[in-house]
């Protein structure tokens, strides 16, 4: 029998069209642009969040019947073609006694992350919260027996992180849906006449999540199933905003990342507040649209014991910088173990990102996209002040001759210094027809990415 495999490239393809129109004042969103800006403000300033994929799939951790299963960990039910009744038995083995909400939130916070998005229910249908509309929950079906999301939400509140939650529309466990036979990404089919039953179930669960955990973002997924429509998405969006007016909802609540054609031309008004490129950073960002790249740290979202393909801390830091320079947020994933630990390689990398963020956070938080199309040595982010613009020049490749050229910058430069320099010792700048040149010290303060702050008085002028 052919093993169903969901490839990462397919996931990337599914996510390639994150360009919802995201326009205020449209049929699904009647708020004014100012109201929308106010609602989106914290999210736009945050720039960096933690994604957590956790559920029953962590128990097998990529191994079924003693054999390694290909594909991503949280898809094992589908990839190993496990019948519902067999998969359900994993609940009796899900006992994350080492789970420590305070430690998880501290890890995210120390990494410089400002929010956390955790799976409340992934495609396998198992709930990490105390749902009253199913028994398939950590509270009722596992020996652990406690609501995981409530603990995390309370802890986020305590430590000042925004708590957000993921919800899969596609559900391999709910009796109204059946897994398809498409070996690739296997959308479910809806049982004849049972769609409304599922939508009611989903709405009841979403209300439970809002009532018990008060999430700031609802992050939908699994919307590619054919039976779920853009119309359904609009209704769910309105339902949720009525329950919690300042809630932020991603574009996967509707069909905004499918169809690809036309989507990035903004000629269709898809529902949702932000786009969700997956495992990729759009080459030139998504101007005019709020967006967030979600990415794994190894090759899986859910825990896989044998996946050691970890990205380096350098890659993670540079991804964060690259995304911020294009005006997006970075949602970086961890896949905790069945015992409740964030894997050590993830912890180590997050600590390194945190060390960098401690020094360079001002060049990430509250910044907007680079005014330069391309810079040969790195990236740029910027921050607008009443009478000046601060340009943060993120130098990946420290110039051997110490001369950092900012091509196309036409302004007279103001104060310039290294962000890591507590004394803010001024760096010499010169201007000519090419742009502005900064004289740097011979050694890079940080081999991964050093930040030079260049203040520009008045109106910023950059030659295209």
Residue from 88, 130, 171, 221 touching ligand FHN (CB under 6 A): that is 221
- Among positions 3-22, residues that touch ligand FHN (CB under 6 A) are 11, 14-15
DSSP class per residue in 339-375: TS---HHHHHHHHHHHHHHHHHGGGTTT-B--SSS-B
**Residues 84 and 135 sit within 8 Å (Cβ to Cβ):** no
Task: Work out whether 320 is an interface residue with ligand FHN (CB under 6 A).
Answer: no
Please state, in angstroms and rounded to a whole number, the distance separating the CA atoms of residues 274 and 351. Answer: 28
Residue 309 vs 461, nearer CB to ligand FHN: 309
Residue 15 vs 357, nearer CB to ligand FHN: 15
Q: In sequence order, which residues have a C-beta less than 8 Å from that of residue 298 and are 6 or more positions away? A: 304, 307, 308, 309, 310, 311, 345
Please state, in angstroms and rounded to a whole number, the distance separating the CA atoms of residues 462 and 434. Answer: 11
In the complex, least distance from residue 373 CB atom to ligand FHN, rounded to whole angstroms: 28
Task: Work out whether 406 is an interface residue with ligand FHN (CB under 6 A).
Answer: no
Residue 220 vs 396, nearer CB to ligand FHN: 220
Residue 169 vs 247, nearer CB to ligand FHN: 169
In the complex, least distance from residue 374 CB atom to ligand FHN, rounded to whole angstroms: 28
Element (H, E) at 177: strand 177-178
Number of residues that bind ligand FHN (CB under 6 A): 11
Beta strand ranges found along 204-363 (DSSP E): 217-221, 248-249, 292-295, 329-334
Please state, in angstroms and rounded to a whole number, the distance separating the CA atoms of residues 206 and 198. Answer: 12
Residue from 294, 297, 350, 454 touching ligand FHN (CB under 6 A): that is 294
Residue from 43, 301, 396, 398 touching ligand FHN (CB under 6 A): that is 301
In the complex, least distance from residue 61 CB atom to ligand FHN, rounded to whole angstroms: 15
Please state, in angstroms and rounded to a whole number, the distance separating the CA atoms of residues 405 and 37. Answer: 35
Please state, in angstroms and rounded to a whole number, the distance separating the CA atoms of residues 314 and 191. Answer: 48
Please state, in angstroms and rounded to a whole number, the distance separating the CA atoms of residues 151 and 439. Answer: 51
Please report which residue ranges of 30-83 form alpha helices under DSSP H. 33-46, 76-79
Residue from 74, 124, 208, 273 touching ligand FHN (CB under 6 A): that is 74
Of the CA atoms within 13 Å of residue 222, those in its CB half-sphere come to 22
In the complex, least distance from residue 297 CB atom to ligand FHN, rounded to whole angstroms: 13
Within the chain, how many helices (H) and strands (E) appear?
Answer: 11, 18
**Residues 81 and 3 sit within 8 Å (Cβ to Cβ):** yes
Task: Work out whether 278 is an interface residue with ligand FHN (CB under 6 A).
Answer: yes
Please state, in angstroms and rounded to a whole number, the distance separating the CA atoms of residues 357 and 332. Answer: 14
Residue 15 vs 369, nearer CB to ligand FHN: 15
Please state, in angstroms and rounded to a whole number, the distance separating the CA atoms of residues 261 and 305. Answer: 38
Residue 165 vs 389, nearer CB to ligand FHN: 165
Residue 332 vs 451, nearer CB to ligand FHN: 332
- Among positions 20-59, residues that touch ligand FHN (CB under 6 A) are 53
In the complex, least distance from residue 121 CB atom to ligand FHN, rounded to whole angstroms: 11
41-49, 69-77, 243-251, 356-364 -> range binding ligand FHN (CB under 6 A): 69-77
Please state, in angstroms and rounded to a whole number, the distance separating the CA atoms of residues 320 and 152. Answer: 24
Residue 11 vs 416, nearer CB to ligand FHN: 11
Residue 75 vs 356, nearer CB to ligand FHN: 75
Question: Given the rule CB under 6 A, which residues bind ligand FHN?
Answer: 11, 14-15, 53, 72, 74-75, 221, 278, 294, 301
């Amino acid at each position: 029998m052919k093993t169903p495999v969901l490839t990462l490239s397919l996931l990337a393809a599914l996510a390639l069209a994150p360009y919802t129109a995201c326009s205020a004042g449209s049929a699904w969103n009647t708020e004014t642009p100012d109201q929308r800006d106010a609602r989106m403000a914290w999210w736009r300033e945050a720039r960096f969040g933690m994604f957590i994929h956790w559920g029953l799939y962590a128990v097998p951790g990529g191994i079924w019947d003693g054999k390694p299963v290909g594909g991503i960990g949280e898809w094992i039910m589908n990839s190993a073609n496990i019948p519902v009744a067999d998969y359900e038995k994993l609940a009796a083995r899900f006992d994350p006694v080492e789970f420590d909400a305070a430690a998880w939130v501290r890890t995210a916070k120390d990494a410089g992350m400002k929010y956390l998005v955790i799976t409340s229910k992934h495609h396998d249908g198992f709930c990490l919260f105390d749902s009253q509309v199913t028994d398939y929950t950590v509270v009722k079906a596992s020996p652990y027996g406690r609501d995981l999301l409530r603990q995390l939400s309370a802890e986020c509140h305590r430590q000042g992180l925004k708590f957000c939650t993921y919800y899969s529309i596609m559900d391999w466990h709910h009796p109204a849906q059946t897994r398809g036979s498409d070996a690739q990404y296997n959308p479910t089919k809806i049982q004849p006449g049972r769609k409304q039953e599922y939508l009611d179930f989903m709405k009841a669960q979403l209300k439970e999540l809002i009532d018990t955990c008060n999430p700031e973002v609802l992050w939908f997924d699994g919307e590619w199933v054919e039976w779920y429509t853009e119309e359904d998405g609009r209704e769910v969006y309105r339902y949720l905003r009525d329950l919690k007016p300042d809630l932020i909802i991603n574009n996967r609540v509707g069909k905004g990342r499918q169809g690809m054609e036309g989507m990035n031309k903004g000629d269709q008004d898809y529902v949702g507040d932000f786009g969700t490129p997956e495992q990729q950073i759009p080459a030139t960002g998504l101007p005019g649209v709020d967006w967030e790249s979600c990415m794994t740290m190894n090759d899986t979202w859910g825990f896989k014991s044998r996946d050691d393909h970890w990205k380096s801390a350098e890659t993670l830091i540079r991804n964060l910088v690259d995304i911020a320079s294009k005006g997006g947020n970075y949602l970086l994933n961890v896949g905790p173990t069945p015992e409740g630990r964030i894997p050590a390689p993830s912890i180590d990398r997050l600590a390194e990102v945190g060390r960098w963020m401690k020094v360079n956070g001002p060049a990430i938080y509250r910044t907007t996209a680079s005014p330069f199309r391309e810079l040969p040595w790195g990236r740029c982010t910027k921050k607008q002040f009443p009478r000046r613009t601060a340009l943060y020049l993120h130098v990946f490749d420290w110039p051997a001759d110490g001369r950092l050229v900012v091509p196309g910058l036409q302004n007279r430069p103001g104060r310039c210094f290294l962000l890591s320099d507590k004394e803010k010792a001024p760096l010499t700048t010169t201007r000519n027809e090419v742009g502005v040149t900064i004289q740097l010290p011979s050694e890079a303060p940080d081999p991964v990415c050093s930040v030079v702050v260049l203040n520009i008085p008045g109106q910023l002028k950059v030659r295209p």
